[in-house]
Amino acid sequence: MSGPCPAAGESDKERNRQNMTSEREDYLATYRRDGFAVVRGVFSAAEVAEIAEAFDAVRAAGLRFARSFRDRNLLYRLSVDANLGKTLRMVQWPAYANAVLDRYRLDRRIYDIVAPLAGPDLKQIINQMHWKPPGAAQNSFGFHQDIWFRRPRAAYRNPAASYVQTGIAVDPHRTANGAMVFCRASHGRGELSLDGDGRVMERDMSAEDLLRFGIAQDDTAPMALEPGDVALWNLYTVHGSGPNLSGIDRRIYLNGYVAAADCDRGEWAFRGGAPCALGEPVLVHYDALYKRPYPHYVED
């Protein structure tokens, strides 16, 4: 069961209406047209520093383990990089382990960005920190659509309209440090396939994959972000990201939301606009949650 989740009153709804400024309408139009958009400067430098400190704490906790390690929905995904040795590549559901990250996933400003697209009753199906350190030999994400990872598919209804993925930039994101690359208007193409060819995390973005999707190179756009910007994209938008060839980190805090009525999985995040605390973990991606609900090492 998730934790307490109060119903929101009229004032929440009114506040949301008042927040619909013209800037908001612009990002909504861009999102609907291109399948991705950016809302600039959502979080201050001090808030980004707080998130970065939380990333440090979660990384230190993860690197105590010899290899990838799971405690129910919380997963530290480690890898042995050819250049850097043991690295923490990503963490799923760090909000269970870190109060600061838990607070930002429920931030009112994130709600105000997502609710116009997916409504006031939101569950959360993604809570992830991705960390690309400089000099890693392999930390690319091949071109993919997030819909590929929504399993079992029957639990995820109305996927084109009810899901919004968000990412808070912790560092500047540029091509040199592995910024994400998005394929314009690809969300209108429905589900595309590489016929199960390779895992997304062990794959580089390639012109050949774009060709297999029927997407022109000209229709790709790197997403430059400043710390504190919030990127958002659709479940069907083709995207990926390259290696970090720069001298700085590239960190992003990902939170994916879904209209609650359209999803049987996920943690409640907002009910009627009011934030919902995490309680006992519920089924999201880890199918063995109830069979193997104890901490254990994970084979990759």
Ligand X SMILES: O=C(O)CCC(=O)C(=O)O
Whichever of 179 and 274 has its CB closer to ligand X, that residue is 179
- Please state, as a whole number, how many other Cβ atoms lie within 10 Å of the Cβ of residue 180: 24
Cα of 278 vs its chain's centroid, Å: 18
- Kindly tell me the burial class for residue 82, based on how many C-beta atoms sit within 10 Å of its own C-beta (0-12, 13-18, 19 or more): exposed
241 in contact with ligand X (CB under 6 A):
yes
Query: What would the x/- binding string for ligand X be over residues 172 to 201, using CB under 6 A?
Result: --------x---------------------
Whichever of 8 and 88 has its CB closer to ligand X, that residue is 88
Applying CB under 6 A, which of residues 58, 106, 129, 252 lies at the interface with ligand X?
252
130 in contact with ligand X (CB under 6 A):
yes
146 in contact with ligand X (CB under 6 A):
yes
Applying CB under 6 A, which of residues 76, 141, 143, 213 lies at the interface with ligand X?
141
The amino acid that residue 56 corresponds to is D
Whichever of 123 and 132 has its CB closer to ligand X, that residue is 132
Q: Cβ 239 to ligand X, closest distance in Å?
A: 5
168 in contact with ligand X (CB under 6 A):
no
- What's the rounded Cα separation, in Å, for the pair 287 and 166? 24
- Kindly tell me the burial class for residue 45, based on how many C-beta atoms sit within 10 Å of its own C-beta (0-12, 13-18, 19 or more): exposed
CA atoms within 13 A on the CB side of 22: 0
Contacts of 222 (CB under 8 A, 6+ apart): 174, 175, 179, 180, 181
Whichever of 42 and 254 has its CB closer to ligand X, that residue is 254
- Nearest Cα to Cα of residue 86 among 65, 72, 102: 65
Q: Nearest to ligand X by Cβ — which residue?
A: 241
The residue count for binding ligand X (CB under 6 A) is 8
Please report which residue ranges of the chain form alpha helices under DSSP H: 10-18, 22-34, 45-62, 99-105, 108-118, 159-162, 207-213
Whichever of 8 and 165 has its CB closer to ligand X, that residue is 165
Query: What would the x/- binding string for ligand X be over residues 57 to 96, using CB under 6 A?
Result: ----------------------------------------
The amino acid that residue 215 corresponds to is I
- What's the rounded Cα separation, in Å, for the pair 122 and 115? 8
Whichever of 77 and 271 has its CB closer to ligand X, that residue is 77
254 in contact with ligand X (CB under 6 A):
yes
Q: List contacts with ligand X (CB under 6 A).
A: 130, 141, 146, 180, 239, 241, 252, 254
